[in-house]
Structure 1
Amino acid sequence: MTLPLILAPEVQAAADAGRPIVALESTIITHGMPWPQNLETARKVEETVREAGAVPATVAILDGQLHVGLEPAQLEALAQAKDVAKLSRADLAVCLSRGGNGATTVAATMIAARLAGIDVFATGGIGGVHKGAELSFDISADLQELAATPVTVVAAGAKAILDLPKTLEVLETLGVPVISVGQDALPAFWSRDSGLKAPLRMDDPAEIAEAHLMRQALGIPGGQLVTNPIPVEDEIAAEVLAPVIAQAQADAEAQGITAKNVTPFLLQRIFELTEGRSLEANIALVLNNARLAAAIATEISARR
């Protein structure tokens, strides 16, 4: 079977030349932000990666083709599209085999990055263990993917709507290196401090790149999670967010929101309850992660 993988010309040229590339997900465009902020942010993230010396590669499924890197017209069409499938490991192959369209989560983007030979992926926040998972067993496939797929993922931690202690525990159980940058505390998406201590700290992109390559040399499966705190001037303190998140989760439960619909619902509800402040913070942290990811990718390329 021929793999339906298409690298955008800019991405293909960078791959051929051994230049640094940063993979970018697409569910942040289709399920994480409203129009037109989603398109504006996607463009800003790509430009931030370029300004930092790397090539951006936004990943999405279009007409049964796995695109690694989108042309401007494709990016705009995706940002305006309705009812786009949210794809993870479980349904990625089905969408491709049916000739469908879909946006990639962290897990699916990691798979695409591996297929394209991309080492580094920048996102906002990863999925994890949802609150009440001891009853619902609602745990994101992102965690298993980090344990299986050799890609370094730069995020502002796990999304703050999750059960962060349990998420960290599962990552430790799966053997995923969880690295905090610039501080000992594990960040919590919109907030710099989750109240948890990160297992590892590395402040230099070169050091993170060395660890990525050493993990591959040792033959250890899986990638690294690099948790990059949101800039101080953009954060929303955890104590401010706590009652907002609790209200959003109560609303989700009351409306019977479950499975893949939970995270988009909670993000939208928190956006409403914070009068848009959460979206501003989200944009700031994604751009911050893109800059760091480009620096790490540059260091990996230099060492190769």
Structure 2
Amino acid sequence: MTEIRLSDEVAAALAEARPVVALESTIISHGMPWPRNAEVAAEVEAAVRAEGAVPATVAVIDGTPCAGLDAAQIARLGQGGAVVKAASRDLGLCAVRGLTAGTTVSATMRIAHLAGIGTFATGGIGGVHRGDGLDVSADLTELAVTDVCVVCAGVKSILDIPRTIETLETLRVPVLVFGADEFPAFYTRRSGVAAGERVDDAAEIAAIRSAHAAMSLGTGLLVANPIPEADALDPDAIGGTIEAALAEAAARGINGKEVTPFLLGRLNAETDGTALAANIALVLNNARLAARIAVAGTAQTARS
């Protein structure tokens, strides 16, 4: 069993069967500029605590997977330098080479699962990229094999959303949409794709997650939580900006794991910061919902 270094707060919460929410760290290392990234990390952790759960920001520090970071570790991730971006496939490499890494959705899911944390909040998951369909995020395959409830604002709007949803269906991953009839598209509440299953209550999500796990299906559970209406961007305007950024990335030969950080940077620049503000709003919104799910799940387990 791989050793996961837990902070004292996270270790105590898990030992006492209190609710814990995992948080990914590429938003710190590769998603936002310093020092806003560290400020947002603190705000997200505070949002989880305000709902009654314990936050566990996940990363790899000097080769060791960690759940629960201190301020110095978050600053180290956020200030750049020798910090890589790690998906689940990269965890062994990071361990052997002693690397420090921000963890993507797939890597965070894997570390959270190994640590015994069942609920995870992120911004948006990866998926099937637009084009020939050969570029598919490891987030989807990790969801197919790792039993963690992932709360997100849908699939990143730079991706092929309908094909991503079809892939999740093929992989037997349940997809729930919280409080809406349409699957969200990260910066916007609407994607044109109908919600497979709408759920309006965090306690019901927790119950579904528990029943799913009890059947040993082995997959994760995806909860798509639309960005708050007040923070959502205009679909047509952001869609045009995304298309232009994708074309620029292709022209510059940017591919693989470098695509998302490049596109997020371009969108933030082209929208005068409104894309960044929307990103922050949706991450906080997801953290709150994930914490409510974790709290409800803990209460249900205590009653059973």
Same fold (TM > 0.5): yes
For the 8 Å contact 2:49–2:55, the answer to whether it is kept is yes
In the other structure, the counterpart of 1:89 is 88
CA contact (8 A) 1:192 1:237 kept: no
TM-score (norm: length of structure 1)? 0.97
Deviations 1:186-221 (CA, angstroms, capped at 9, x unpaired) = 000000011110111111011000111101111111
Cα shift readout 1:158-200 (whole Å, capped 9, x = no counterpart): 1000011111110111111111011110000000011110111
Summarize the alignment of residues 127-276 of structure 1 with structure 2, pairs less than 5 Å apart.
127-134=126-133, 137-276=134-273
Whole-angstrom distance in 2 between the partners of 1:67 and 1:275: 34
Asked if 1:69 is matched to 2:68, the reply is: yes
Please identify, of 292-301 and 94-103, the stretch whose mean Cα deviation from structure 2 is larger: 94-103
Deviations 1:41-95 (A, max 9, x none): 1010000000110000000111111110001221122111324111112111111
Q: 2:218, 2:3 → 1: CA distance?
A: 25
**Matched residue, 1:45:** 44
Task: Give the conservation status (yes or no) of the 8 Å contact 1:187–1:227.
Answer: yes
Q: Secondary structure at the match of 2:31?
A: coil
- Give the TM-score normalised by structure 2: 0.97
2:52 pairs with 1:60? no
Alpha-carbon deviations, 1:249-279, whole Å to 9, x = none? 0110111101111111111111111111100
Kindly indicate whether the alpha-carbon contact (under 8 Å) linking 2:144 and 2:220 is maintained by their aligned counterparts in 1: yes
CA shift at 1:299, angstroms?
0.9
Match of 1:284 in 2: 281
Task: Tell me, in whole angstroms, the C-alpha distance in 1 between the residues paired with 2:289 and 2:81.
Answer: 31
Conservation of the 8 A alpha-carbon contact between 2:85 and 2:101: yes
Aligned partners of 1:28 and 1:38 also within 8 Å: yes
The code of the aligned residue for 1:168 comes to I
How many angstroms does 1:242 deviate by? 1.1
How far is the alpha carbon of 1:100 from its aligned partner?
1.3
Pairwise CA distance, 1:37? 1.1
Q: Percent identity?
A: 53
Distance in 1 separating the partners of 2:191 and 2:185: 5
Q: Residue type matched to 1:68 in 2?
A: A
Matched position secondary structure for 1:197: coil
- Structure 2 residue identity aligned to 1:170: T
Shift of 1:302: 1.1
- The one-letter code matched in structure 2 to 1:78 is L
CA distance in 2, matches of 1:189, 1:254: 25
The answer to whether the 8 A contact 1:187-1:229 is kept is yes
Contact 1:131–1:162 under 8 Å retained in 2: yes
Look up the SS of the partner of 1:86 in the other structure.
Answer: strand
| Residues in 1 aligned to 2:103 and 2:239: alpha-carbon distance in whole angstroms | 28
| Counterpart Cα distance in 2 of 1:237 and 1:182 | 20
**Alpha-carbon distance between aligned partners in 2 of 1:47 and 1:302, rounded to the nearest angstrom:** 21
Structure 1 CA distance, aligned partners of 2:159 and 2:113? 27
Deviations along 1:91-144, whole A, 9 cap, x unmatched?
Answer: 11111122111111000000011011111000000000111133xx11000001
Counterparts of 2:174 and 2:269 in 1: how far apart (Å)?
34
CA pair 35-13 structure 1, distance change in 2 beyond 3 A: same
After the TM superposition, which parts of structure 1 deviate over 6 Å for at least 4 consecutive aligned residues? none
For the 8 Å contact 1:144–1:174, the answer to whether it is kept is yes
CA distance in 1, matches of 2:136, 2:14: 34
Which residue is 2:20 aligned to?
21
**Alignment length (residue pairs):** 301
Cα deviation per residue 1:142-165 (whole Å; 9 max; x = unaligned)?
001111100000000010000111
Letter in 2 for 1:235: A
